[in-house]
Structure 1
Amino acid sequence: MKDEANYSLPGFTNAGLLPPGDYELTLAELRRSLLVRGEGSSPNWDSDWRLTLVENLAVMAGQLWQIGIEEIFVDGSFAEDKVHPNDIDGYFCCELKRLASGELERELNRLDPHKVWTWAPESRRPFRGYPKRQLPMWHIYRVELYPHYGQLCGIRDEFGQELEFPAAFRKSRGAHQQKGIIRLIKEEEGT
Structure 2
Amino acid sequence: MAQAPYGLRLLVGAAITALEETRRLPQTIVMYPMTVASTIAQFLMKFQQDLAGLAIKGDAALESVFPPRDENPEWATFDDPVPAESQRSSANGERQTEGRFALYSVTDTAGPRGSERTPKPKPGTAKAAPPPPKPSTTPPPIAVELDYESLTLAQLRARIQSLSVADLRALLAFEDAAKARAPFLTLLANRITRATAK
Normalising TM by the smaller chain, what interval? under 0.3
Determine which structure has the larger helix proportion and give its number.
2
TM-score, normalised with respect to structure 2: 0.26
Point out which structure has higher relative CO (alpha carbons under 8 A, 6+ apart): 1
Determine which structure has the larger strand proportion and give its number.
1
